[in-house]
Structure 1
Amino acid sequence: MQRDRAVHKRNCPLRLVYVVTEDWFFVTHFLPMARAAQRAGFEIVVVTRVGDRAKEIESEGFRLVALAADRSAFGIGPLLSTLFRLRAIFLRERPDIIHAIALKSIILGGIANLLSGGSAGVFSLTGLGYLWSGNRSVLRVSRAAVRSILRVLGLRSPITFTFENDDDSHEFPHLNDKIVIGGWGVDAIPLSPKSMHSASPVRALYLGRMLKSKGIEPTVKAVQLAREKVDVQLELWGTPDPGNLTSLTEDQLLAFSKLEGVRWCGRAADVSTTWQRADIAILLSEREGMPRSLIEAAATGLPMIAFDVAGCRSIVQDGINGFLVPPGDVRAVADAILKLANDAELRARMGAAARSDFEQRFSIESVVPRIIEVYFNLVRYPQMR
């Protein structure tokens, strides 16, 4: 199969197939990466469940292949169905590289890759999520199974595993070819630094999916505590995600909005404009890969407050560009809000540090070249210029 593919591809562009569960996730997180790969000479194919972002993907000149799969379905029947659909797609497309994104796509796409002849692959873990969120016996067994599966997937064909932070990478010590990528790059142009000034009320902002695992409830509680001493408002931007087991409901979010100083605003039509409304960015996740919301906040020059957990601690430097607080300590979050709300100079200083760190580590210009290099190393193909 590999030899046939090589002959077939000799005079054709290298074909890069992205496998991702949702079209919106590809657009929000991986579009700049795919654009750069296209400029480098790759033909881009996106295999995903098609929602309302299809036109955006196809307008880039990428070919879209619909994958009828529900990411919340974990029964053996749906999983096998998705596995064999992916195998059929790979046999038809004959990719030079498969870039599978997130754990479910990696496992199903990786097995389908083995069953279809074995292309080179980039397997990107964008956070470890629920399986790594506790220590119950069923979770420990599941984690051991995932480690074993990924190790087997890495034994066949050239495969590079990418992680978004060191904590996640350390969970897989037996993977041979792995690198840590600090997120997938955020375009700095629309996210201009906010001009800091004394604001009343000070506005704290969360932007992302409305999930319990993102710490929406402790965020609301912390702001309520802080409001006992200072006029601070909380805006929650984003929508529920029915495909996620930890999604909040609209009724729960509307109940939060009835609290003094709290407002659920729904979907952010323009991320840049939304962040410009904020004086403080908050993310109290249980665990992250590399949280895009904090990267966007840093690009906007905002001070940040987060729990000291995987992913968040890779962005927030305690006392420099924000505050890291012990996980679950709502009172400590409220104290951090008070410090920032009462000191415009501190907000400006931490915001400037956040923007500087973003430019060095998280902009598209700093991240994209590393992955393009990985692509070309996998296929041993001279870089096009």
Structure 2
Amino acid sequence: MNIFLFHTNADYLIGLRLPLMRALVQRGCRVSAWAPKLSQSHSDELRGFGIDAASYAIDATGLNPFRDGMNFFRIWWLLLRKRPDVVLANNAKPVIWVTLAAALAGIERRHCLVGGLGYAFTPEPGAASFRRRLVKFVMGRLYKAAFGAATAVIFQNTDDRDELVTAGICPATKAHVVSGSGVEVAHYRPAAAQPVSPVFVMVGRLVADKGVREYLQAARMVKQQQPEARFLLVGQIDPNPTSLRTDELAVYVDGGIVEWPGAVRDVRPWLAQANVFVLPSYREGVPRSTLEAMACGLAVVTTDAPGCRETVDAGRNGILVPLRDADRLADAMLQLARDPAQRAAMGRCSREYAERRFDTRIVNDDMARIMGLSPADAGSMEVLT
């Protein structure tokens, strides 16, 4: 069984899809990973797991029809020559252009993995801008064409599925849901001893839609009432125009409110210092950063938004707060800052919830079933660590 997996970013391809690709390889499938501008280090890492790796042309953002059209025909010619048995397209542009090209090339199994609906479908306060309405209109039409050509469409939360099915963009008969990308619970474990004082951590790109500004504002408010609390912010300044600026962040770092190590290769040492994970994001598929924190036994404070709410089990392992509301976020953080017993209990529930629902073995089995892989193709889909 020859499977091609397409993504728009090599780092995310490896960070989010490597467990699935390894599971497929370990059960006898031949897997080829495709991403634009794949570096030699990316290729070496993938090939170390028996995964073929190659670059292809796709414009991850933007709505340039000429460029998208050229890339579409390149992808079609690639698939026509290579003839994989299965195509799995992940992220908006591959979902659209790879799926349509695969249909034109006669590839029998064409699967779309929708990790989240992103910018176009994220609500704005007040009336949506003309640009956002235009992007949503165009993306809706392109998604509808791609989903019509797909064998199956795999969503990571029920909100995204329901929105696109209700809008007539995705046929209900093709729509499936898995529990995010999953997390390797054997790799992320609770620390031997958690800190006594409240320590909050946020991990992610420092862009507006992740709620980073609300996190910083809430940290300032909590610090005024709980001066012993620590606040960690793990992530890099992003080229996105909505990204936090260096001078904005410096106010909080120089003021002793947050500690900022920047981007890190391994988040586990930073999660081990904390007992509460915070993600005030406006919309997600299912945030991998939260799943990693849950596996490490951290209580969760996140927004009552698509994808984010999937990570909180009826308030047992965390607290949901409204979007774009730094005051309510600070209230939830203060509640946990003042109650060590609740922090610990929620952390234990987080670990149990991660094991029960978000283990990569569970997600991989679901992916294999949806993709129509027989036991001979995919076995039990376990990930060896």
Which runs of no fewer than 5 residues in structure 2 stay unpaired?
380-385
Is 1:149 aligned to residue 146 of structure 2?
no
C-alpha distance in 2 between matches for 1:256 and 1:300: 26
- In structure 2, the partner of 1:7 is none
What amino acid does structure 2 have at the position aligned with 1:164?
A: Q
Which residues of 2 match residues 35-184 of structure 1 at below 5 A? 35-49=22-36, 50-51=38-39, 52-134=41-123, 135-136=128-129, 138-156=131-149, 159-173=151-165, 174=168, 175=171, 176-184=173-181
Contact 2:194/2:273, CA 8 A, preserved across alignment: no
1:36 and 1:278, CA in 2 relative to 1: closer, same or farther beyond 3 A? same
Q: Which residue does the alignment assign to 1:33?
A: 20
Shift in Å at residue 332 of structure 1?
Answer: 1.3
Q: Which amino acid aligns with 1:374?
A: I
Q: Which residue of 2 aligns with 1:23?
A: 10
Once the two structures are TM-superposed, the CA of residue 367 in structure 1 deviates from its matched residue by 1.2
Alignment of 1:198-209 (within 5 A): 199-200=196-197, 202-209=198-205
Work out the number of aligned pairs and report it: 367
SS of structure 1 residue aligned to 2:190: coil
| Aligned partner letter, 1:248 | L
- Structure-2 change in CA distance of 1:367 and 1:381 (3 Å): closer
Partner of 1:9: none
**Correspondence 1:236 to 2:233:** yes
Q: Does the aligned pair in 1 maintain the 2:59–2:68 contact within 8 Å?
A: no
TM-score, normalised on structure 2?
A: 0.89
Deviates more, 1:215-224 or 1:190-199: 190-199
Residue in 2 aligned with 1:194? 191
Q: Aligned pair 1:264/2:231, yes or no?
A: no
Q: Deviations over 1:207-228 (max 9, x none)?
A: 1222121111110000100111
Amino acid across the alignment from 1:146: M
Matched, 1:223 2:213: no
Encode CA deviations 1:290-323: one digit per residue, 9 max, x unaligned. 0011111110110011111111111123531111
1:329 corresponds in structure 2 to: 325
The 3 A distance-change label for structure 1 pair 257 and 69 is farther
Q: 2:295 aligns with which of 299, 303, 313?
A: 299
Matched residue type, 2:211: G
Name the CA shift for 1:351/1:281 in 2 (closer, same or farther; >3 Å). same
Task: Name the CA distance, whole Å, in 2 between partners of 1:253 and 1:100.
Answer: 36
The residue type paired with residue 64 of structure 1 is A
Q: Is the 8 A contact 1:20 1:26 kept in 2?
A: yes
Match for residue 353 of structure 2? 357
The CA deviation at 1:381 is 8.2
Equivalent pair of 1:99/1:123 in contact (CA under 8 Å): yes
Instruction: Give distance in 2, aligned partners of 1:264 and 1:198.
Output: 18
Percent identity over the alignment is 28
Instruction: List alignment gaps of at least 5 residues for structure 1.
Output: 1-13
1:203–1:235: 8 Å Cα contact kept in structure 2?
A: yes
Q: Which residue is 1:342 aligned to?
A: 338
Preserved contact between residue 73 and residue 79 of structure 1 (Cα < 8 Å): no
Tell me the secondary structure at the aligned position of residue 371 of structure 1: helix
